[in-house]
Structure 1
Amino acid sequence: MAGRFLTKRGGIWTYVRRVPDVYAQFDRRVLVRVSTRIAVSDDPSGRRAARVATRINSDLETYWHGLLEGRRDEARQRYEAARQRSRAMGLEYVDMVALIADRSADELMRRIEALEGRGLVEDEVAVAGALGGAERPVLRLSGLLKEYERLEKDALAGMSENQMRKWRNPKKRAIENLIAKITDKPVTEITRNDALDFRDWWQEKVERENLKWGTANKDIGHLNRMLKTLDKRLRLGIGAPFGELRFADDDGHRDAFDIAFVQNNILHEGALAGLNPEARAALYIVVETGLRLSEVTNLTKQTIQLGAKVPHVQVRPDGRRMKTDQSNRDIPLVGVALAAASAFPDGFPRYRDKPDSFSAVVNKYLAEHNLLPSDNHSAYSLRHTFEDRLTAVEAPEKVIASLMGHKWIRPKYGAGPSLEQKRQWLKKIAFNAPATV
C-alpha cells in the first residue's frame, strides 16, 4: 500500500507523501520526502523499496497521530478546566458564539460582573469559563476509541490484558472500516447518511465475499454503542446515527451436540489422542462441567480443589473480569473431568488467559477429525449440551442456574445448592470416561 508513495529521485527510490489535511495544522511541510537509500538500478521493480516505504509510512503516521493526540489532550484539558471554573462561579458553561447569539446582553453583563466581583478578569481560565472562550476539542473518528475507553474506565476495571485486547480490537476494526468509507471526520459531523452509506458498503461486502451478517452487525453495533456513549456523556447532540441499522442475523446460533454423539465419538477411546495433553484435558473438563472456554483455561492450582471433601473447581476472576456476577461459582468434578483435573492439578498454563488459542486449537482438531456434526457446532456447543443433559434428568432450575453461572429468576435466599447436591445431579449425567485421559 505504501508503495504508491514511491518515486524515482536522482536514481534513488524516494518516499514522497503529501501531508494530509487533518495533520497540516501542526506539520507545516507540504510534502514529506524520505530516501529509501535503495538505488533504482539495484531494485528495478521497487519491491525492496516498497518494504522500506511501508516502514517509513508506518513511522510517519505514528508521529502524526501522536501530534494529533497531544493537541487533542491539550484542547480537552483547556475545555474541561474552563467548564469546571464556570461551574465554580455558579455559571452554566456556554460557548462564546452561542452566548453572543442566543443569550441576552444582560446575561453577558452578569458574567462579566461575576469575573470583576471575584477579581478574576486577569485569570485566563476563569474568563474562558465565564465567557465561553474555550473551544470544544474536535474529536475525530481516529480518536474515538481512546475517548470511549476514557469514558468507560470504571466499567473496564478488572479486565485482564487479553480481555482488554479482545475489547479493543473489534472496535478498532469498526472505526478503521468507517474511516475508510467516510474519511476521518469529526465525530460531531457524522450523519445518518454516513451510517446508511456504511451499512450499504457492508451489505455489498457481505454478499460479494460471502461473509456472515453477524460480522457486519458487530461493526454497526460497536459504532452505535461508542457514539451513543459519547453523545450522552459529552453532550454532543449527534443522536444515534447507527441506531436500528443491524441486519437480520441468524448465523450466531450454536447447536448442542447430541448426547450419544459426545459419548460415542468425542469420548471414544483415542478420539482426542492427537490433541496436546493440556488442550485434551481442558476439553474433558468442559464436557463434564459446562465451563466456558475462558473459564477452563484460567483454572489454577488455587482454584482446582482436588483435596476437598467434594472435589471441585472454583470459577473466580483471578485477574480477569467475570462475564456476569453469577459466573462466580463452584462446580463439582465427576467422571472424565475429575480424571482430567487430577492429571493437571495446576491448570493449563499453556492457555492461561488465552481462550481464543484454546478454542482455535480444539475446533481445528474437531473439524479435521469429523467430530463436529455441522457448521453450527463448535467446542462451545458442549456447554449447551451440558445444559440439555441437566434438563433431560429434570434437575431443578436453581441447580441448573447455579452450575451454568446463569442468573436465577427468583430473589436469592440462602446459600444456594451445596456442592454435594450439585455433585448428585452431575453424577446422574456423567459420561463414561475413556480409559486414557
Structure 2
Amino acid sequence: MPELTSEDISGLIRGYFKDALSQSIELAHILPRDHLYDQAGEIGSLKKRMQELEALLARRSWPASVQSEAQTLLGTIIPEKLAPVSERFQQLCQGILRAEHENARILAAMLAGKFHEVAPLDPIFAGIVVNDPPPIPGDDISTPAEQTMASVATLFHEYKSKHDWVPKTAADATRVLTIAKSVIGEKKPFKMLGIEDVKAVRDAIASIPPNYVKLTANKGISPKEAIKANTDGQTLSLKTQDKYYTMFRQLLIWANHEGYIDKVPGEGVKLAGSARVDVGAKRKPYSTEQLQTIFASPLYQGHLSETTRHKPGSELIRDGKFWVPLIALYSGMRMGEIVQLLVADIKTQDGIAYFDVSKSEGEDKNLKTQSSVRKVPVHKVLLDLGLLDHGHGPGRMFPDIKKGEDGYYSHNFSKWWGRYTRHIEVSTKDTAFHSFRHCFKDALQAAEAPEYISKALMGHSDKDVHAGYGSGPSLSVMKKTIDRVCYPFELMPMTQVPALEK
C-alpha cells in the first residue's frame, strides 16, 4: 500500500467539512420557520458543543464515534484499516473534530444572522465555499459520483481496447491495472492520486514474481500478497517492467487529458534500470554468416521429418515454417503480419503480385498500427521460389501454423523459431525473428531506396508535412525498389530433394 500523505488526509477532512457545511445550510434555512424554534437555545447548544470539541482537541482525545468515522473515510481510498496510533489516523481524527468545530461556529453565525462571519477561519478549510444545501431525496438534480481508481481504470481500459489496443495489449493492461488497483486501493478518489501512489505501483511492478497473473495457481491471491510471498526475489524482466510501468503512466496521462485528474503525478518517478531498456531491447540484424547458416540448414536443404526440421534428411516440406522466414527476409514484414496471411491476401495489380497487409471486419487478423496497412510487392526471389504456387482456396496461407494460447498465430511460431535457431546454433541474445526486418531495412538502405519508399514498404508512419498529400509511392515504383534488395550471401538451391507443398 502506498504511504498516505498529509495531502491525502487533508483532502478527506476538507471533503468531510464540505458535506457537514451543506447540511448546516439546510438547517439554517429550515429551523427559523419552525414555530418551536428557539434561536437562543440553538445557538447556545452550538457554542457549548464548540467548547466540548475544543477540550477534546486540547487533550488529543478521539471518541469512539470519531475513530469510527475516520475509518469509514479511509475506506474510500485504501482497502486496509489504519492503526489508531498511526500518525495519519491521528491527523484524520483531529481534522474531523476541527471540521465539526468550524461547522458549529458557522451554523451559529448563520442562525444569528451574522453572515459576515460564515467564512471558514480554520486554515485547513481556507477557500471552501458552500452555498447550496444537500439535494432533497428524489430530486432529479444529482451530483455525479466521484471517480475512483477502479472506475477510471475501467474507463481507460474500455476506451483504449475499443480504439487503440489489440487483444494482447489489452490483456497486458489488465495485469497492470490489477496491480495498480491492489496497491493503491480501488476506492481511492482518482483526483487524490499523488507521487507516493506512483512510486508504490512502480515498486510493485519491480517486485512482483514472474508470470504471477498468468498462473492458475495464483487465482485468489492479490498482487500484494504475491509480492509478500516472493521470498526468492525473482522478478519480471526489465523489459517487461518497463512495458508495465509505461502502461500505468499511460493511464495517468489519459486521465489527465480526460479531466479526471488535474495533473499527472510523479512525472519524475523513474523505473530503476529503465535507461538500459532501450539499448538492451533493440534487436540486431542477422549477420551474413547467420543468414548463410539459416538458409543452408536442413529446413531449406532437406530435413528428417515434418517434426524434426533441424536434422538433415530426405524431406523438404514447403509449409509455413519454410516460407515465413523467407518472406520476412525479402519483404520486411513482421512475423505477426506474415503468419496470419490469407491466400486471398496475395493479390495482383497491373501484373504485379503483392501482399495486401490489411484487416477487414470479421477477419481473424491484427495489425500493430494504422500505418501497418500497406501493399508490399512480392520480391522476385520469392516468385522464383514458387510462392504464388503455394496456398489455394479461401483459407489461410499457412494453415499449419496454429493459433497460440494468447490468441495470436505468432505465439507458437515464435517459440518454434527460437528452438530451431538454437538447434542450428545461430541463436544469440541480440537476435530473434525480428532481426529479418532489420536485415531488410539495411538492405533497402544499401539499395539507396528513398526514405518515403522504405517507410511505405515497412509500414512506418511518415510524419513529414508532405506525407499527408498524394496517395504514396506507386506499386510499380515499390516493386522496382524491393527487387533491388539483395544480401551478401548465397541462397543455396532448394531443389536437392523433392519439395512437398503443405
TM range (shorter): 0.5 to 0.7
- Aligned-pair CA distance for 1:307: 8.4
Is 1:291 aligned to 2:291, yes or no? no
The structural deviation recorded for 1:369 is 2.3
What displacement does 1:313 show? 1.0
Task: Indicate whether 1:376 and 2:442 are aligned.
Answer: no
Q: Tell me, yes or no, if structure 1 residue 404 matches structure 2 residue 404.
A: no
Counterpart position of 1:136? 146
- Retained in 2: the 8 A contact 1:286–1:337? no
Same amino acid, percent of matched pairs:
18
What residue is the counterpart of 2:397 in the other structure? Answer: 347
User: By how many angstroms is 1:322 displaced?
Assistant: 3.7
The answer to whether the 8 Å contact 1:329/1:403 transfers is yes
388, 408, 414: which one aligns with 2:442: 388
AA aligned to 2:477 is Q
Structure 1 residue 124 and structure 2 residue 139: aligned? yes
Distance 1:391 1:212 in 2: 33
Q: Secondary structure at the match of 1:240?
A: coil
**Which residue is 2:480 aligned to?**
424
**Matched AA of 1:136:** E
Show CA shifts across 1:323-375 (max 9, x none).
Answer: 33332221121245333453235412434652233222222322332132x21
The separation in 2 between residues aligned to 1:173 and 1:294, in whole angstroms, is: 22
Task: Report Cα offsets for 1:200-257 as digits up to 9, x if no partner.
Answer: 4555679943753222112211111113323432534463346642322232110111
User: In structure 2, what is the Cα distance between the partners aligned to 1:416 and 1:213?
Assistant: 39
Alignment match, 1:212: 237
With over 3 angstroms needed to count, the CA separation of the structure-2 counterparts of 1:434 and 1:327, relative to structure 1, is farther
Does residue 1:196 correspond to 2:199, yes or no? yes
Q: State the Cα deviation string for residues 132-164 of structure 1 (Å, max 9, x = none).
A: 4x5425x344x55432123436524xx6xxx32
| Closer, same or farther: CA 122–175 of 1 in aligned 2, 3 Å | closer
- Say whether the 8 Å CA contact 1:305–1:314 is kept in structure 2: yes
Determine if contact 1:285/1:336 at 8 Å carries over to the other structure: no
Greater shift, 350-359 or 296-305, is seen at: 350-359
Is the counterpart of residue 256 in structure 1 residue 311 in structure 2? Answer: no
**Residue 103 of structure 1: aligned partner:** 129
Count residues with an aligned counterpart: 315
Does residue 1:334 correspond to 2:393, yes or no? no
Asked whether the 8 Å contact 1:253–1:376 carries over to 2, the reply is yes
Is 2:146–2:189's contact at 8 Å kept on the other side of the alignment?
A: no
CA contact (8 A) 1:281 1:341 kept: no
Instruction: Name which of structure 1's ranges 303-312 and 236-245 shifts more when overlaid on structure 2.
Output: 236-245
Quote how far apart the aligned CAs of 1:289 are: 0.5
Who is 1:282 aligned against? 324
Residue type of the partner of 2:414? Answer: S
CA distance in 1, matches of 2:158, 2:447: 48
Gaps in structure 1 of 5+ consecutive residues: 1-20, 26-100, 113-120
The equivalent residue for 1:230 is 255
Q: Which residue of 2 aligns with 1:36?
A: none
Q: CA RMSD in A?
A: 3.7
Work out the CA distance in 2 between the residues paired with 1:194 and 1:415.
47
Letter in 2 for 1:418: S
Instruction: Give, in whole Å, the separation in 2 of the partners of 1:175 and 1:242.
Output: 18
Other structure's SS at 2:461 match:
coil
Secondary structure in 2 aligned to 1:411?
A: helix
Q: Deviations over 1:267-289 (max 9, x none)?
A: 11524544582232122211110
* Worse overlay, 311-320 or 335-344: 335-344
Which residue is equivalent to 2:415?
360
Q: Kindly name which structure, 1 or 2, has the bigger radius of gyration based on alpha carbons.
A: 2
Q: Is the Cα contact below 8 Å between 1:287 and 1:382 reproduced in 2?
A: yes
CA separation in 2, counterparts of 1:211 and 1:241? 22
TM-score (norm 1): 0.61
Between the aligned partners of 2:366 and 2:193, the Cα distance in structure 1 is 33
Distance in 1, matches of 2:339 and 2:390, equals 15
Taking structure 2 as the reference length, the TM-score comes to 0.54
Q: CA separation of 1:368/1:176 partners in 2, compared to 1, >3 Å: closer, same or farther?
A: farther
Q: Give the match's secondary structure for 2:246.
A: helix
In the alignment, structure 2 segments of 5+ residues that lack a partner are 1-71, 77-126, 210-231, 310-316
- C-alpha distance in structure 1 between counterparts of 2:152 and 2:422, whole Å: 39
1:269-328 CA distance string (max 9 Å, x none): 524544582232122211110101121122212211268611221111234564333322
Bigger relative contact order, structure 1 or 2, given CA contacts below 8 A and separation 6+?
2
User: Given the superposition, is the C-alpha separation of residues 177 and 238 from structure 1 closer, same or farther in structure 2, using an over 3 Å criterion?
Assistant: same
Instruction: Evaluate the alpha carbon distance shift between residue 410 and residue 387 of structure 1 in structure 2; reply closer, same or farther with a 3 A threshold.
Output: farther
* Cα distance in 1 for residues equivalent to 2:149 and 2:473: 52
Distance 2:437 2:261 in 1: 43
Q: Which residue of 1 aligns with 2:42?
A: none
Query: How do 1:31-180 residues align onto structure 2 when only pairs under 5 Å count?
Result: 102-103=128-129, 105=131, 108=132, 124-126=139-141, 128=142, 132=143, 134-136=144-146, 139-141=148-150, 145-152=153-160, 155-156=163-164, 163-164=166-167, 166-179=168-181
Mapped to 2, the partners of 1:308 and 1:260 lie a distance apart of 37
